[in-house]
A and B are shown apart, each in its own frame.
Chain A
Amino acid sequence: DPVSGDFTPNPRQQVSYTACLGCTTQCGVRVRIDKASGQVIRVVGNPYSPLSTEPHLPMKVSVKESLVAMSRFQDKGLAGRSTACGRGNAAMDQMSSPFRVLTPMKRAGPRNSGQWQPISFEQLVKEVVEGGDLFGEGHVDGLAALRDLERPIDAEAPELGKRVNQVAVLTSVNDGRENFSRRFWNQAYGTLNHVGHGSYCGGAYRSGSGALFGDVKKMPHAKPDLANAEFVLFIGTAPGNAGNPFKRTGGMLAKGRAEGRLDYVVVDPVLNNSHNLAAAEHGRWVPIRPGTDGALVMGMMRWMFDNDRVNTAYLAWPNLKAAQAAGEPSFTNAGWLVIAEDGHPRQGRFLRGSDIGMAVAAEDKYKDADPYLIATAGGELVAAETAAEPAVLEATRVIELGGKPVTVKTPFELLRESARAQSIDEYSAICGIPEEVITGLADEFTRHGRKASAVAHGGMMAGNGFYNAYAVVTLNALIGNLNCKGGFVMNGGGFKDNGAGPRYDLETFPGMLKPAGTPLGRNVPYERSAEFKRRQAEGKAYPATDAWFPNAPGLGTEWFPGALRGYPYGLKALILWSCNPLYGITGVRPLIEKDLADPKKLPLIVSVDPLINESNAFADYIVPDSLMYESWGWTAPWNGVPTKATTARWPVVEPKAVKTPDGAAIGMETFYLALAKAMQLPGFGAGAIADMDGKRYPLDTPEDWYLRGGANIAFAGKAPVGEASDEDLQLSGVERIRPQLEGVLKAEEWRKVAFLFTRGGRYQPASEAQDAEQPEWQAHRFTKPLWLWNETIGSARNTLTGARFRGCAQWTPPAFYDGTPVRRVHSEADWPLQIVSYKSALQNSYSIATRITGLHPDNPVVVHPADAAALGLQSGDTARIRTPGGAAECTVIVHEGVVPGVMAVEHGYGHRELGARAHRIGDQVQPDRPDLRAGINLNELGLSDPTRGGKVIWVDAVSGTAVRQGIPARLERV
């Protein structure tokens, strides 16, 4: 009641708090369900979740009060608005989609023929485990035979690992269930190869960030503190249009600009919803040529160095203790000395204590215990980690190393050399941004103390993306904004479910395997391979057979061309779990679709997925998976939430897939549990999980895993969470899973875990974002150095040319792997235009068959009026885009919201599957929906790399990430 605040629940409905999976943000949502039919009626935000509400409700608020807080009572619903975005509102349509896979299926024709035979769960498990002549095409090894933990893939190259590595698992994004999958595939089955979609998503940005944050594998990253910032520079990322966390970013941007506190600039080849003319005095779009962000940023840096706008006082602190004593919550390696002598074997590496005669044990030489060095004002070289005084930033000198004179420099100097490599007008000519805008941006960026920041994302997926991204994030180091309120801030992280406690050990188990070998994506040093040793012995270590990426994480981009050519080795089985690489990896489809369809090249493909997409259409088996509100899981925000947060996914409705003989719905977990049982793998079944007293419990059901993970979350930290009341259980629908809660958990645990489900997660109070003692510092801080110079980058070599990479930000044009600029191969005369992709505000790669399609049916290509006029094209006309990698017919839309010479393609259209083709499953044929085929997919127009034999896709040479920004192209009339 809006007057009294009294609350009368509708007895026919429940409102449950769980997670959305409409995109990778995975916001907390509230799902209204018709109890009788189990149908989802509507979805909005979860008021306890910081991903949906700003500020979010404290956990102690009861479920009833949380629902009242969403009503008109005292206008609470306006002040505490908890939202779902357009896609989040539409995503529920997937639940009842006619295109869902609900039963295990086996292909009933060649791969990708669209013909399937439903099979029983028992037949599925038996065939996948035991193999046999499964398709009348000859013998196929099953997973049991392929789990070869003894024999090497190649006796001549033992570093590749055992044959079990020839079973590989590709997934997309951690939806809260990846830990279960990794337990099965890495720890129990034993393969090394289990990667996600980062290398064809925003990986170049993450790699650039990883270089600055000193970890190119985990790639830490920070985000603007939009709640407190005064100025933010977004380069190749579109706040409020897309991105992660989408709603939180969009909401804070809207609030900041409407209140007048926040000014921001979006630098991008294409205009989007991050601009808003109604708030034009607070936000500006700066158009830029694709793949030239590094030129803009190095131009800004040059101006900052030349005009004394770099925060040198901050940069000089060589360690955290000294920095904090000076009031700085972060520090950099700007003053640590680097060996800069051309041709020196350790060129690009830091000078270490052992180099200058400090006492370091032999086994510690060049390891952590061997200190980095700075020069002091007194001219001494001292250990960086323990110095209490600032480093001299301009410290170039010649020292004697091994009896030879060697030049050393500081990262500060090396970066400044990079910035001064070109003049600002040269940088301006490259990126197409007027000189006064470059200097104006640099001026503005350095005028807000720490309440400014610069960030990037998908726009970095160019042929020089790593260095562009490294440049953008390095801007932040130059003003010292990391960990500062209003500056560049870290994610609060989540509460760990699969840790070694505090209630159950979900991290280890008896018989656990530790996978080893060379990852399929070759993201390790070539110099440690047998091939290198052989070639070195032959006198020519470089070139290698192909590219290696020692400074990249696992690379899905390299998997398919690599595995199908057998370099570094071939695959015997591929598991595709909820991923769609053929749709998502730029340029890969034309290179591999023929081989992928050939069982001789890759004998077994099994997919676990609720839908048939462009990739698992090639599978031999599809196993239905739970979808969105049907699944268990524990997810943490990817980034952008400064407080600790874990979102609970739980089956708020009964999963629709058919049941196993045990009566559980078929899904990823029940499939893997059955595989584990059939192969008698460790870590599953009776006694697989131990509590803190060493008492053992079974892992036979998904609940055995996720509820105990919930117990670890509920009891994490100083004090456990509260207990769910009976009213909480009733109103939230958690009552339905009460038997499982009470059955799996201990008496003192189950109501605490139920508390998490009734609130949809565990969330630290919003008021704890900043440090209690130091209100200008963030509570969750990055405590390691920022690497202005990164020695793992600066000492790595291009495996085709042997050339060294530069260890700091720089401008370098988009190029193929061996360094050949793309425009030298595909000239502007032949390919006068370029295409870029941009994220849709509505559609993602798998939301096509929802109500979004009626609202936003296709993706006309944005063409600049000047380019359209040259061809006589108008909005609505059909044209053909041609690139060196393919051609596609498209509709054009003509307006000034794009850089001349560039065509912009929205992501999420041009589907061949997900409803765009009607499959036959047994005697059923799916509905025919030609409208779902609308538009084009830029990823089908990507390029191969001629410097790698034209057999692999074009990727960035450092990060190994797919290139989808700045593909040479032309437009033709049809």
Chain B
Amino acid sequence: MKSCSDLPVFPASPSRRAFLRGATVLSAAAAAAPVPAVAGTGKKQWAMLVDVRKCIGCQACTVSCIQENAVPEGSFRTVVSTYSVKLTDSAQPAGTYVLPRLCNHCDNPPCIPVCPVGATYKREDGIVAVDGDLCVGCAYCVQACPYDARFINHETNKADKCTFCAHRVDAGLLPACVETCVGGARIFGDINDPEGELASRLKETQPQLKVLKPELETAPRVFYIGLDERFTGKVEGQGTLWKPRNLPHA
């Protein structure tokens, strides 16, 4: 029996999908796609892939991070910057661009050399961490981070930032932001585990991969699909759909 499938077939028309085709497609990467391979040490190396196409800007990641890590009011270890972008090359006047931001856990982190007391360090598993006992709260690292990922926690007076939820990861769990990502945009795992979801996704999508500010050669461990270079730094003159308190870059 036929069922819901006796589809009338219409000839292609000039207007076919005109209203979708008219939309801007983000330009191709200017820089070469990063190669997310790490020297074959076989050691765990944590990393994240953010598929911006899947982000719905709901800030579940932002709030879960705040709750999980008791981030003080007005500070963020991760946040999704949300922009209304004026479009001049499209049939629609503006579009929404979202950009989940967090510490990039760089392989070449500019925050480490500037720390006068050696409080900021890179763990063996690639996580960039802060030893609170050593930190003097001088904020050099906050200045040095090109991704605005660090802040001085006004409750502890220490440098604070995303840890990839190391306490959870060490316990066999996912970072809070990944676990609660409604669009499924955030993928977390070990770059060196070829069987793992992260490594296979990175491999599959390699030509589309980008990182924030590749020209700084920080070798970020946070990779993006659907990244638009216009929004990778501090954004001036673009409308934000709304604005959190005290946030430098949105």
Contacts and interface: CB of A to CB of B under 8 A. Distances in A.
Contacts of B97: 276-278
Interface string A216-259: 00000000000000000000000011000011001101110110
Most buried by B among A281, A286, A855: A855
A85 B58 contact: yes
Contact of B245 (A44, A484, A854): A854
A444 B96 contact: no
A200 interface: no
Interface stretch (A67-75, A178-186, A790-798): A67-75
Contacts of A878: none
Contact of A327 (B6, B18, B25, B181): B6
B60 interface: yes
A776 interface: yes
Interface stretch (A356-364, A365-373, A445-453, A816-824): A445-453
B73 A251 contact: no
A842 B59 contact: yes
Interface in A440-465: 440-441, 443-444, 446-450
Contacts of A265: 19-20
A851 B67 contact: yes
Contacts of B93: 287, 896-897
Interface in B1-53: 1-8, 10, 13, 15-26, 51-53
Given A281-B25, A841-B59, A92 B98 contact: no
A137 interface: no
B66 interface: yes
Interface stretch (B105-113, B140-148, B151-159, B235-243): B235-243
A282 B26 CA distance: 12
Contacts of B22: 284
A635 to B, nearest CB: 20
A79 B197 contact: yes
B94 A271 contact: yes
B173 interface: yes
A398 interface: no
B214 interface: no
Interface in B174-225: 174, 176, 178-185, 187-189, 196-198, 225
Contacts of B183: 240, 250-251, 254-255
Contacts of B23: 280-281, 283-284
B55 interface: yes
A444 B17 contact: yes
B46 to A, nearest CB: 10
B96 A450 contact: no
Contacts of A842: 58-59
Contact of B18 (A77, A440, A860, A906): A440
Contact of A276 (B13, B52, B94, B225): B52
A450 B74 CA distance: 48
A47 to B, nearest CB: 11
B235 to A, nearest CB: 12
A896 B13 contact: no
A265 B21 CA distance: 12
Nearest to B247: A855
A751 B150 CA distance: 50
A440 B15 contact: yes
**Interface size, A (range):** 35 or more
Given A285-B94, A327-B3, A88 B60 contact: yes
B248 interface: no
Contact of B95 (A240, A285, A856): A285
Contact of A896 (B15, B59, B84): B84
Nearest to A876: B243
B53 A278 contact: yes
Contact of B84 (A44, A247, A443, A895): A895
Give the interface size bracket for B toward A. 35 or more
A73 to B, nearest CB: 7
A309 B10 contact: yes
A643 interface: no
A522 B115 CA distance: 72
Given A855-B244, A897-B94, A280 B73 contact: no
Given A75-B189, A278-B226, A777 B94 contact: no
Contacts of B20: 263, 265, 281-284, 444
Among the interface residues A87, A275, A774, which one has the most CB atoms of the partner chain B within 10 A?
A275
B19 A437 contact: yes
B56 A280 contact: no
Nearest to A309: B10
Contacts of B26: 277-278, 280
A209 interface: no
B153 to A, nearest CB: 14
Given A78-B174, A78-B188, A450 B4 contact: yes
B64 to A, nearest CB: 5
A115 interface: no
A825 interface: no
A777 B3 contact: yes
B58 to A, nearest CB: 5
B63 interface: yes
Contacts of B63: 86-87, 89-90, 851-852, 855
Interface string A320-336: 00000011110000000
B94 A487 contact: no
Nearest to A314: B6
Contacts of A43: 67
A819 B7 CA distance: 41
B239 A44 contact: no
B59 A855 contact: yes
B95 A277 contact: yes
B65 to A, nearest CB: 9
B5 A81 contact: no
A73 B171 CA distance: 11
Contacts of A278: 26, 52-53, 55, 97-98, 225-228
B25 to A, nearest CB: 5
Contacts of A841: 56-59
Contacts of A90: 63, 66-67
Interface string A12-53: 000000000000000000000000000000111100000000
B117 interface: no
Contacts of A487: 4
B4 A329 contact: yes
A1 B25 CA distance: 43
A386 interface: no
Contact of A851 (B73, B179, B185): B73
B4 to A, nearest CB: 4
B180 A44 contact: yes
Given A277-B95, A893-B242, 5 more contacts: A42-B67, A89-B63, A240-B56, A273-B82, A327-B2
17 contacts: A45-B180, A71-B173, A86-B60, A247-B182, A251-B183, A258-B51, A271-B96, A271-B241, A277-B24, A280-B23, A287-B93, A309-B8, A856-B244, A893-B242, A894-B239, A895-B84, A895-B241
Interface of A: 1-2, 42-45, 70-73, 75, 77-79, 81, 83-90, 92, 240-241, 246-247, 250-251, 253-255, 257-258, 263, 265, 271-287, 309, 311, 313, 326-329, 436-437, 439-441, 443-444, 446-450, 481, 483-485, 487, 774-777, 841-842, 851-852, 854-857, 859-860, 875, 893-897, 906
